Structure 1
Amino acid sequence: MKSKSFLDIIKKKRGKDHYSGDQYGGATGKSGSGLPDGSNRNFMFATGIECSYPTIGHGKIRRDQMDECGHYKFWKRDFELVNELGLKVLRYGLPYHKIHLGPGKYDWTFADVVMKELKRKDITPILDLLHFGLPDWLGDFQNPELPIHFSDYAGAVAKRYPWVRYYTPVNEIYVTAKASAKDGLWNEQLKSDEAFVTALKNIVAASILATHSIVKFRPDAIIVQSESAEYMHEAKAEQSPEVKLLNKQRLLSLDLLYAYSPDAEVYIYLMDNGLTRNEYDWFMKGEPPGYQVMGNDYYGRNEKIMKPDNSICTAEDVLGWYQITKGYYDRYKKPVMHTETNTFLPDQAPTWLWKQWVNILRMRSDGVPVLGFTWYSLTDQIDWDTQLAEKNDTVNACGLYDLDRNPRPVADAYKMLLKEYGQITIFPHGELFEITTSEALLKVAI
């Protein structure tokens, strides 16, 4: 006689319905589908307002992207578009060069209006305090007084808007220093290793002191450090020491920020180009306070190939966001966020969006905590094909919307992604954990 299976008994007593769990990584035993609901335990989907404002022409021309891309005029509509997409999070940069008028002097006119509207619309800003440029009175990134003055500004912002918790004190520190002092494109427009190291140390110090100022008013501050995920491949039989060093230099901003000792070759480079032993020891004392999130920005043009004739071409997706960011994660052991991506080819943008998302899914499958994803930016940009170095008024069609605020195909693709994944937790079984309002306390590694 055939004995009964336990399955027969379960089906008879409990029915044939599916027994929900958390196997999908979604909240409360669901798949995680549905537009974002703003839960503190859920993954953060975002976009951003392009807010770069470096100077070119040796300080004569200010490249204010919030002006050039129409945000000062259409800011209300821009915030409405964020709501219409179903997003709850926005990378947003206040125009530092317009607000900080001098030591202890601020003009909050525009900032007060837009911050009030962000709060009213229940949009969570990741507040960007310095995006590639400085107020005229501060000069450039060679100025050793930058850390003190900028930290005063950061504290003033945190005091004035105490409801803001997420901050990017300085956007893309490495890119800022390299474009300004090594490549000669912006601001001081210098082209030397010494100028690069000077800019780098001043900017990292500014970010560290700014974070200390922020946590005086928000002890639970979450610091999302947006940094460019870059790599140079060398297609030569004999690898050059210059490219080897370049691929180490891209890590310098985070090494100094997170108190991670670089190798001997990089240490010697820093010492040879103006970093003092006392300054190095100061950086290595420990990472700044607050909950630290490592944001990695990835564009296909960030990854390059140097050919045998030393010409350079794009190496889009040879490694990709996953491989490059995994290397950063293994080095710094910080929670991750994909803080910027786009493509200048609007017809290919939906595919690029899905490719970036699959990179994130793969990272999650490795057990790395990925907090969020950002398509940058909400609207098209101007002249980023020349890194803002030339004033050509070329529209880069990389936004979710064009400059008339009409949707591009990638906007629909993003809506589809949000409807499918908008309520996933940061990692499976994420109900056990959520972003709390507890003060951030530095932990000792074990």
Structure 2
Amino acid sequence: MTSHPWHRDGRLHFAVGVEDTFVPQSRPGERAIDEYALTEHYDKWHGDLALASDAGAELVRWGVPWHRIEPGPGRWDWSWLDAVMDRFAQLRLRPVVDLMHYGTPLWMDGQFANPDYPKRVAEYGAAVAERYAHLGVTDYTPVNEPMIHALFTGEYAYWPPYLSGPEGLSAMAGQLARGFVQTQRAIGDVLDDAVFVHVDAGMRFTGDTDAPEHREHAARLKEQVFLVEDLVTGRVGDDHPLAPFLRGHGWGDGDFAWFAEAPVRPDVVGVNYYPLHSTEVFEAGVFHGGGFLDPRPVRDDGTAGLAELLRGAAERYGAPVMLTETCVTGTVAARLAWLDESVAALHDLRASGVDVVGYTWWPLFDMYEWTYRHSQEPREAHRLTMGLWELQERADGLARVRTPIADRFRHHADRAAAQAIR
């Protein structure tokens, strides 16, 4: 693997991602979710990484299963992860290591609400960074989609620790942000050349946002999208639009002071954008709580929404931006069309002066919807056709079936690499 600062070399880099949601806790009526187990990646990782290379990807957004490598506090099992990281090096693929993708280890009582969570997650992040420094693994996302984390664990009571309401949201945003800061600092102490890719879900809100029954809620949501990133970068003071909300739901002067004194910066700001889901519509006279259980209607704003979110992130944080997840769930033809349209949109943004450094198709192969957790149906009932390769049930396990999207992705990746050489 190379060690050049890829995010500053002027190129558009192509990446793929392996879906890595881990919520290992279960309870009656709720199954654990481990996407590596569901997709059989724990067994097929060697070939899966070769697929990424075959598709022409330079980077792979890939997550570490914390619950597997630290099965007990301070007790590490590196055997599987060592082999995977060696494979990355062998293939000359650059992992952007996703340290936290929704789930804590089973031994952590209270999960994100555990007072030791920020310290524990930082120790884990530093341990991973130190172990693989010799392989040139330098690129890290401390926590993927922290605001989605905060919503699902702190407002919707959908994932552990099942907090709810504005108090739960405020508490989880604070805990996740503290862990984020401490993890980045701990990795920075280990790696002088670390590259930090901060990733959150791009969300847009449109429709009747100024209707009296929606105005206050919509205004909060538009700022809430940025809350964790604003916290970790030291942007949340008393003049922040969400300061009254936080103060009204458990935050005191000490909380604000902690983040003001300990900011961390992104080297790259990642935006996850799904055209079929990322724009929510408010309707006058109709109330939807929002979220997984009571979703608002959505609108497909295509590349216009994508461009708006990437441009806004670049302006807000003054850093290079990357499309860190995108796809459509649908037919091969629909996926091909979105791949072409979204890649063209990124080239247009770059031509207009926006510092866009990366494009990520997510996922490399199909994944299973989070509804699997609350279902008793077999995994195939929850498969989402999203990948460059589709998953097909066979007697000997899940086959990876190549689609024309993989070839088209390779075309775009090779073309970008060739243009950079000229």
TM over 0.5: yes
SS of residue in 1 equivalent to 2:129? helix
Q: Deviation at 1:43?
A: 2.5
Question: What residue ranges of structure 2 are gaps of 5+ in the alignment?
Answer: 289-295, 392-398
Larger relative contact order (CA 8 Å, sep ≥ 6): 1
Q: Which residue of 2 aligns with 1:288?
A: 264
Alignment partners' CA distance in 2, 1:391 and 1:328: 40
Give the RMSD, CA atoms, in angstroms: 2.3
The alpha carbon displacement at 1:270 in A equals: 0.7
Larger radius of gyration: 1
Distance 1:88 1:327, change over 3 A: closer
Q: Matches of 1:39 and 1:285 in 2, distance apart?
A: 27
Say if 1:358 and 1:391 are closer, same or farther in 2 by CA, change over 3 A: farther
User: Is 1:350 paired with 2:336?
Assistant: yes
Map Cα deviations across residues 81-127 of structure 1 (whole Å, 9 max, x no partner). Answer: 11211222111111111112233221112111111111111111001
Query: In the alignment, what sits opposite 2:352?
Result: 366
Q: Look up the SS of the partner of 2:149 in the other structure.
A: helix
> In structure 2, which of residues 228, 232, 242 is the aligned counterpart of residue 253 of structure 1?
228
1:252-272 per-position Cα deviation (integer Å, ceiling 9, x unaligned): 011101111364541010111
**Alignment partner, residue 329 of structure 1:** 314
Q: Which residue of 2 aligns with 1:167?
A: 140
Percent identity, aligned pairs only, is 26
Tell me, in whole angstroms, the C-alpha distance in 2 between the residues paired with 1:230 and 1:374. Answer: 17
- 2:383 is aligned, of 375, 381, 395, to 395
Residues 380 and 399 in structure 1, CA contact (< 8 A), matched pair in contact too: yes
What secondary structure sits across from 2:389 in the alignment? coil
Partner secondary structure for residue 244 of structure 1: helix
The aligned amino acid for 1:248 is E
TM-score, normalised relative to structure 2: 0.86
Q: Does 1:378 align with 2:364?
A: yes
User: What's 2:128 paired with?
Assistant: 157
Show CA shifts across 1:120-140 (max 9, x none): 111110011110110011132
301, 314, 317: which one pairs with 2:298?
A: 314
Equivalent residue in structure 2 for 1:217, among 158, 173, 190: 190
CA distance in 2, matches of 1:113, 1:236: 50
Deviation at 1:286, TM superposition (A): 4.8
- Which range moved further: 173-182 or 320-329? 320-329
**Structure 1 contact 322–362 (Cα < 8 Å) conserved:** no
Give the CA deviation at 1:379.
0.6
* Alpha-carbon spacing, 1:146–1:295, altered in 2? closer, same or farther (3 Å): same
Query: Residue 55 of structure 1 contacts residue 63 of structure 1 at CA under 8 Å; is this kept in 2?
Result: yes
Residue 205 of structure 2: SS of its match in structure 1?
strand
Deviation at 1:273, TM superposition (A): 1.2
Give yes or no for contact 1:142–1:195 (8 Å, CA) kept in 2: no
**310-319 vs 65-74, greater mean Cα deviation:** 310-319
In structure 2, C-alpha distance between the alignment counterparts of 1:388 and 1:228, rounded to whole Å: 21
Give the number of equivalent residue pairs: 389
Q: Helix, strand or coil for the counterpart of 1:136?
A: coil
Does the CA contact (< 8 Å) of 1:58 and 1:188 recur in 2?
Answer: no
Answer whether contact 2:271 2:321 (CA < 8 A) is retained. yes
Within the candidate set 57, 66, 83, 2:53 is matched to 83
Q: How far apart are residue 39 of structure 1 and its match?
A: 9.3
CA offset at residue 293 of structure 1? 1.0
Residues 155, 164 of structure 2: 8 Å contact kept? yes
Matches within 5 A, 1:420-435: 420-425=415-420
Task: State the match for 1:9 in structure 2.
Answer: none
- Contact (CA 8 Å) 1:234, 1:243: kept in 2 or not? no
Q: Distance in 2 between matches of 1:120 and 1:237?
A: 54
Residue 443 of structure 1 aligns with which residue? Answer: none
* AA partner of residue 280 (structure 2): K
The residue identity in structure 2 corresponding to 1:202 is Q
Cα deviation 1:53-97 (Å, max 9, x = unaligned): 125655863200011011112111101111211222111111111
- Contact 1:174–1:228 at 8 Å: present in 2 too? yes
Determine the structure 2 residue equivalent to 1:238: 211
Kept after mapping to 1: 8 A contact 2:236/2:256:
no
**Residue 66 in 1 paired to residue 25 in 2?**
no
Residue type at the aligned position of 1:120: Q
Correspondent of 1:276 among 245, 252, 256:
252
Of residues 16, 19, 32, the one that matches 1:47 is: 16
- CA separation of 1:295/1:216 partners in 2, compared to 1, >3 Å: closer, same or farther? same
Q: Map of 1:111-150 to 2, 5 A cutoff?
A: 111-139=81-109, 140-150=111-121
Q: Conserved in 2, the CA contact under 8 Å of 1:56 and 1:389?
A: no
Is the contact made by 1:170 and 1:225 (CA closer than 8 Å) also made in structure 2? yes
Secondary structure of 2:112 counterpart: coil
